Amino acid sequence: MRTASIGVRLTAWYLSVLGVAMVLFAAGSWWLSTQSMIHAADANLEARIEGVRAFLENPETHLTVDDLREEFGEYALLTQGEALLEVTDGGGNVLCRPLIPGWSELPRATNGNRGPADRMIGGFPFRVAAASLETHGQRYDVTVAAPMGPAYAALNRFHEWLVLLLALAIALAGAGGYWVSRRALAPVDQITTSVREITVRSLDRRLALPRADDELRRLAGTFNDVLARLEAAVGDIVRFTAEASHELRTPVSLMRTTAEVTLRHERRPDEYRAALADVASQAQHLSSLIDDLLVLARIDAGIEPASSPATFDVRDRICKAIAELTPAAQARAVSVSTRLPSEPVPVSGDAVSLQRALVIVLDNAIKYSHTGDDVLISLDGGERAPGLEPRAVVKIVDHGIGLDDVEPARLFERFYRGGRARTHAPEGTGLGLAIARTMVERQGGSLALAAGPRGRGCEARLSMPAAMQPSA
């Protein structure tokens, strides 16, 4: 079942609340108008009874039955159409009685009062009240009736108009509420239309921000932020794809060229061996590049195998990284020295990932050092920044070619290699530092590069959160 639009739902909620309020108001108006009219009629009846009481209790009123009949007869003539009056004394003498059909059937007051009530007399509605009055030692029974036909007719007309106006008001409120909701949601439709028109080829487009500082402006601003991040991400993917294609094409082209040149005519065995050695070298470079690309792809996709954080001694990982790169250091005649604490330096994280990051950074230090240079690895396990937890900091300092005159952050861009690096070590891929930094940051650490002491060489600073105790 299809859900109604937001505009329809807003209108329905608005009408529900408004309708309940208006119905309650109409019901209250109905009840108040009815009660006001009845109270007015009852007050009139009470005033008539009190008028009879005042007349009978008047010290000058010492009249015979005939005189009282005459007085009440005149009163009945004066109030004709306004009220009907019946007065009888304790002896059963009728002093005043209306001559209309059905009057004799009304209940009388017998030694007590009867409150006002609606009665039908002669087919017409009346409001009737009865009371017994004691004066001058004589009891009088008084019955008063006021015609309610015109009042009830006016009240019914008011109620009819009230219902009609209520229905009209709810209809107008519904139409107005729907119009207002559509006007309020029109900017949302504009945003939707604009977003639909944005494709991968037009990620540079942005939504127009409403002038009012409201929820819609914040929504459009959020969309623009998302578009900016998406544009940057797609740009990174495009650049990554282009650079990866370029880097992959180079060793493939070299292998193909070497094979084609070698196969043009017969060669001596040593020439075939040299050609195969070149192909194997390029294949090794290509394999290393593909491995790095796969690692980055897994990291970007969030499918890099995750391991539970464990506490381990950083010194062990440094020693294993040095052992892994000892053949490479010996091949380049570069010595690696350490300055490590005598006590364990525990950190919490993935030991394998940290070791791989150390291998990448240390391999760069060895690769870009000159023959006979020394690479120093130091470890500080108690460094603490203000307001932060203690951190273990590994520093790898070389005296090699140093950094190009570029922002150090660029060195962590994928495939970026400075001019000195390309000249000194053409076999590099420009992916190692990007992989190392990502691995370290995923464990809450950081990796930064800076110029070495006295501007010579390079200093890599790898920082990890320190743990309380190393694992057994």
One DSSP character per residue, 411-446 reads GGSTT---HHHHHH-TT--S-HHHHHHHHHHTTT-E
Kindly state the DSSP code that residue 466 receives in the 8-state scheme: B
215-301, what's its fold? Helix Hairpins (1.10.287)
Q: Is the dihedral of CA 259, 265, 266, 271 positive or negative?
A: negative
Q: How far is CA 21 from CA 27, 36, 163, 180, in A?
A: 10, 22, 14, 20
Annotated domain spans of the chain: 6-155, 215-301, 310-465
* Residue with tokens 């009815």, as numbered in its chain: 34
- Radius of gyration for the chain, computed over Cα atoms and rounded to the nearest angstrom: 52
Continuous segment of H or E residues that includes residue 310? strand 310-313
Look at residue 395 and give its three-state secondary structure: strand
Which one-letter amino acid corresponds to residue 275?
A
Q: Are 278 and 258 in contact (CB under 8 A)?
A: yes
Continuous segment of H or E residues that includes residue 448? strand 446-451
Burial label for 77, CB within 10 Å (0-12, 13-18, 19+), is exposed
Look at residue 54 and give its three-state secondary structure: helix
Look at residue 247 and give its three-state secondary structure: helix
Q: What's the order of all strands across the beta sheet hosting 335-339?
A: 335-339, 374-383, 391-398, 458-465, 446-451
CA 199 remoteness from chain centre: 26
The pLDDT value given to residue 472: 41
430-462 per-residue burial string, b: 16 or more CB within 10 A, e: under 16 = bbbbbbbbbbbeebebebebeebeeeebbbbeb
What CATH number matches the domain at 6-155, 3.30.1360.120, 3.30.450.160, 3.30.360.10, 1.10.3720.10?
Answer: 3.30.450.160
CA-CA distance, 320 to 358, in Å (whole number)?
A: 9
| ∠ Cα 252 254 257 (to 5°) | 110
297-333 per-residue burial string, b: 16 or more CB within 10 A, e: under 16 = eeeeeeebeeeeeebbbbbebbeebbeebeeebeebe
pLDDT tens per residue across all 472 residues of the chain: 566 777 777 788 888 888 888 889 889 988 998 889 899 988 988 888 888 888 887 776 666 777 777 777 777 776 666 778 888 887 778 888 887 887 877 777 655 667 788 888 888 898 888 888 888 778 888 888 888 888 888 888 988 998 899 889 888 888 888 888 887 778 778 888 888 888 878 888 888 887 777 777 888 888 889 888 888 878 777 777 776 676 677 678 878 888 888 888 888 888 888 888 888 877 877 787 777 777 777 766 666 655 567 888 899 999 999 998 898 889 889 999 999 988 888 888 888 888 888 988 998 899 888 888 899 999 987 655 555 678 889 999 998 888 766 666 777 777 776 666 666 666 666 778 888 888 888 888 899 988 888 778 889 999 988 876 544 4
* Residue with tokens 């691995």, as numbered in its chain: 439
CA-CA distance, 240 to 270, in Å (whole number)?
A: 39
Superfamily of domain 310-465: Histidine kinase-like ATPase, C-terminal domain (3.30.565.10)
